[in-house]
């Protein structure tokens, strides 16, 4: 099938550019599956892309909305210097607990703070400033998360939002569900927003067809 092609393609590139995942990444995936978490983490290639971005920017403080089992968290936290910090927000106590286990296994528990609760309530209590924010939670609240990320990310920092393409459905008026509408509300808002400059990069790989929005905080 079509997806087999893209799984093969990701495998081909990952073998060359990423190599075999280490014990902690393997543990995080296995522990998440064993704990019944949904298979909705970033792909390996996407996670490494964010990791490289954070290293390129020399990010010292990273904000994440949507932890799940901490797969993207591990990749991002590994880009931090010794005194770096990552704050990640998760509504599910179960997901947060699995993430804490996975982060501890990766030796990152001292750099990462997992905050449990609806992100809409946690975000206003967080203080600036961050170099990078990664938004990957309930899409219904994307606009609120984006506004909070703008408050928290320094000028010259970046805000990345996952799943803004979703097999092209975001651009298809036939899809009127709250998930898709949440993505649209954010994109429509950014159209007149003088505080960011942004673009969407569509992606394809072993997690299907989707895309990141990448916004530079002005
Ligand atoms: N970033 C993760 C990764 O790549 O490994 C995947 C995150 S997953 C797509 C989305 C997560 O957001 C889920 O764990 C879900 O429980 C969480 N979530 C959903 N609604 C939320 C909310 N209102 N506040 C905080 N987290 C929420």
Give the residue-averaged pLDDT of 119-138. 98
* Domain spans in the chain, listed from the N-terminal domain onward: 2-217
Ligand 1 atom with the shortest distance to the CA of 68: 14
CA distances from 161 to 22, 26, 50, 140, 199 (A): 26, 25, 11, 13, 11
What is the distance between the alpha carbons of residues 58 and 79, in angstroms, rounded to a whole number?
8
Residue 3, pLDDT score: 86
Q: How far does the centroid of ligand 1 lie from the alpha carbon of residue 162, in Å?
A: 11
Burial of 43 (0-12, 13-18, 19+ CB in 10 A): buried
**pLDDT, tens only, 95-116:** 999 999 999 999 999 999 999 9
Contact 113, 27 (CB under 8 A): no
Q: How far is the CA of 147 from the centre of ligand 1 (A)?
A: 18
Pocket of ligand 1 (CB under 6 A): 40-42, 66-68, 71-72, 89-92, 95, 118-119, 136-138
pLDDT band at 1 (very low <50, low <70, confident <90, very high): confident
Burial class of residue 120 in the structure, from the number of CB atoms within 10 Å of its CB (0-12 exposed, 13-18 middle, 19+ buried): middle
88 and 115 in contact (C-beta within 8 Å)?
A: yes
Percent of the chain, pLDDT > 90?
Answer: 97
CATH of domain 2-217: 3.40.50.150
Q: Is the peptide bond before 177 cis (omega within 30 degrees of 0)?
A: no
CA–centroid distance, residue 88 to ligand 1 (Å): 10
Determine the distance from the C-alpha atom of residue 106 to the mean position of all C-alpha atoms in its chain, rounded to a whole number. 18
Distance 150 CA to ligand 1 centre (A): 19
51, pLDDT greater than 90? yes
- The ligand 1 atom nearest the CA atom of 92: 16
Give yes or no for residue 9 having a pLDDT over 90: yes
Distance between CA 103 and CA 198 in Å, rounded? Answer: 31
For the record, the structure tokens of 214 come out as: 């990448």
pLDDT digit string, tens, across residues 132-160: 999 999 999 999 999 999 999 999 999 99
Q: Where does the pLDDT of residue 2 fall: very low under 50, low under 70, confident under 90, or very high at 90 and above?
A: confident
């Amino acid at each position: 099938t079509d997806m087999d092609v893209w799984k093969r393609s990701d495998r081909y590139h990952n073998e060359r550019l990423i190599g075999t995942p280490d014990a902690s990444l393997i543990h995080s995936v296995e522990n998440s599956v064993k704990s019944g978490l949904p298979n909705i983490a970033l792909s390996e290639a996407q996670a490494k892309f964010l990791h490289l971005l954070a290293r390129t920017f020399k990010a010292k403080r990273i904000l994440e909305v949507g932890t799940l089992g901490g797969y993207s968290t591990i990749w991002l936290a590994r880009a931090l210097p010794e005194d770096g910090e990552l704050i990640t927000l998760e509504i599910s106590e179960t997901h947060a607990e699995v993430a804490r286990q996975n982060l501890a296994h990766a030796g990152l528990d001292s750099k990462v703070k997992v905050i449990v609760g609806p992100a809409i309530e946690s975000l206003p209590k967080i203080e600036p400033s961050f170099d990078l924010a990664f938004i990957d939670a309930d899409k219904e609240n994307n606009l609120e998360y984006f506004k909070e990320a703008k408050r928290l990310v320094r000028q010259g920092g970046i805000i990345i939002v996952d799943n803004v393409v979703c097999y092209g459905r975001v651009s298809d008026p036939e899809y009127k569900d709250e998930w898709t509408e949440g993505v649209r509300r954010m994109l429509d808002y950014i159209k007149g927003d003088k505080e960011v400059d942004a673009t969407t990069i569509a992606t394809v790989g072993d997690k299907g067809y989707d895309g990141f929005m990448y916004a530079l905080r002005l």
